A and B are shown apart, each in its own frame.
Chain A
Amino acid sequence: MERAVVLKGITKRFPGIVANDGIDLEVKKGEIHAIVGENGAGKSTLMKILAGIYQPDEGEIYIFGKRERITSPGRAIELKIGMVHQHFMLVDRFTVLENIILGAEKRAGITIDEKNSRKMIEELLSLYNFSLDLDARVEEISVGQAQRVEILKVLYRGADILVLDEPTAVLAPQEVKELFVNLRRLKEEGKTIIFISHKLDEVLEIADRITVLRRGRVVGTVMPSEVTKEELARMMVGKPVFMKLEKASVPTGEVLLSVKDLVVKESTGKTVVNGVSFEIRGGEIYGIAGIEGNGQKELAEAILGLRQISSGQVTICGRNAGNLSVREIRDLGVAFIPEDRHRQGLILPMKVWENMVLGFHRKKEFLKGRSLNLKAIRKFAEKKSEEFLVMLSSIEQSIEGLSGGNQQKVILGRELSREPEVIIASQPTRGLDVGAAEFVHKELLKKREEGKAILLISADLEEVLSLSDRVGVIYNGRITAEFKPEEVTLEDIGVYMLGGEVKAGEGA
Chain B
Amino acid sequence: MKKRYYIVMLRILAPVLAIVLSALISSAVILAIGKSPLQVFYTIFKFSLSRLDSIAIILYNATPLIFSGLAVSIGFRMGLFNIGVEGQYLIGAFFAALAGFAIKGLPVFVHLPLVILCGALGGMLWSFIPIYLKVKRGVHEVISTIMLNYISYSLIHYLIADVFLDRSQKLVEGLGGILTRTPKLPPSALMPKLHVFLGLFGIQLPRHVYLNWFFPLGLLMAYLIYYLLMHTPFGFEIRSVGQNPEAARTAGIKPERVYMAGFLLSGAVAGLVGLSDLLSYFGYMDLDFPRNYGFDGIAVALIGQNNPLGIVLSAILFGFLKRGAEGIQTQLNVPMDTIVILQAVMIMSIVVITKVMNDYIKRLERKESVICSSQNSSLPA
Contacts and interface: CB of A to CB of B under 8 A. Distances in A.
A350 interface: yes
Interface in B238-259: 239-240, 243-244, 246-254
A306 B381 contact: no
Contact of A372 (B236, B247, B249): B236
B374 A359 contact: no
Interface string A324-358: 01110011000010100001111111100010001
A330 B249 CA distance: 11
Measured as residues with beta carbon below 8 angstroms from the partner, the interface class of chain B is 20 to 34
B233 A347 contact: no
Given A15-B370, A344-B246, A359 B239 contact: no
Measured as residues with beta carbon below 8 angstroms from the partner, the interface class of chain A is 35 or more
B331 interface: no
B33 to A, nearest CB: 43
Contact of A215 (B244, B246, B381): B381
A340 to B, nearest CB: 9
A17 B373 contact: yes
Interface string B212-256: 000000000000000100011100110110011011111111100
A306 B252 CA distance: 9
Contacts of A350: 239-240, 243
A13 B246 CA distance: 32
Interface of A: 13-18, 21, 57, 215, 304, 306, 325-327, 330-331, 336, 338, 343-350, 354, 358-359, 361-362, 367, 370-372, 374, 393
A374 B240 contact: no
Contacts of B248: 347, 358
B369 interface: yes
Nearest to A325: B254
A326 B377 contact: no
Given A345-B250, A371-B231, A372-B233, 11 more contacts: A13-B374, A326-B254, A343-B247, A347-B244, A348-B244, A350-B240, A359-B250, A361-B233, A361-B237, A372-B236, A374-B231
8 contacts: A15-B366, A16-B372, A327-B253, A359-B251, A359-B252, A361-B236, A361-B237, A372-B231
Contacts, number: 86
A393 to B, nearest CB: 7
A344 to B, nearest CB: 4
Contacts of B246: 343-344
A348 B240 CA distance: 10
A370 B237 CA distance: 14
A371 B232 contact: yes
B374 A304 contact: no
A216 to B, nearest CB: 9
Nearest to A217: B381
A18 B227 CA distance: 35
Contacts of B250: 304, 306, 326, 336, 338, 344-345, 359
A143 to B, nearest CB: 21
Contacts of A13: 370, 373-374
Nearest to B366: A15
Given A326-B249, A347-B248, A372-B231, A18 B377 contact: yes
Interface in B359-381: 365-366, 369-370, 372-374, 377, 381
A410 to B, nearest CB: 12
Q: Which of A15, A57, A215, A370 counts the most B-chain CB atoms under 10 A from its CB?
A: A15
A393 B236 CA distance: 23
B259 to A, nearest CB: 16
Contact of A327 (B239, B244, B252, B366): B252
A358 B366 contact: no
Given A18-B374, A215-B381, A358-B251, A347 B366 contact: no
Q: Which of A16, A347, A354 counts the most B-chain CB atoms under 10 A from its CB?
A: A347
Contacts of B243: 347-350
B247 A327 contact: no
Contacts of A374: 231
A474 B232 CA distance: 43
A21 B251 CA distance: 37
Contacts of B251: 326, 330, 358-359
B158 to A, nearest CB: 42
A181 to B, nearest CB: 37
Nearest to A15: B369
Nearest to B251: A359
A358 B373 contact: no
Given A215-B381, A350-B239, A354-B236, A14 B370 contact: yes
A344 B232 CA distance: 23
Contacts of A336: 250
Contacts of A331: 252
Q: Which of B248, B251, B369, B381 counts the most A-chain CB atoms under 10 A from its CB?
A: B251
Contacts of A367: 233
Contacts of A215: 381
A349 B232 CA distance: 19
Contacts of B372: 16
Given A371-B231, A372-B232, A393 B247 contact: no
Nearest to B370: A13
Contact of B247 (A345, A362, A370): A345
Contacts of B254: 325-327
A59 to B, nearest CB: 14
Contacts of A359: 250-253
A351 B372 CA distance: 20
A371 B224 CA distance: 12
Q: Which of B231, B233, B247, B369 counts the most A-chain CB atoms under 10 A from its CB?
A: B247
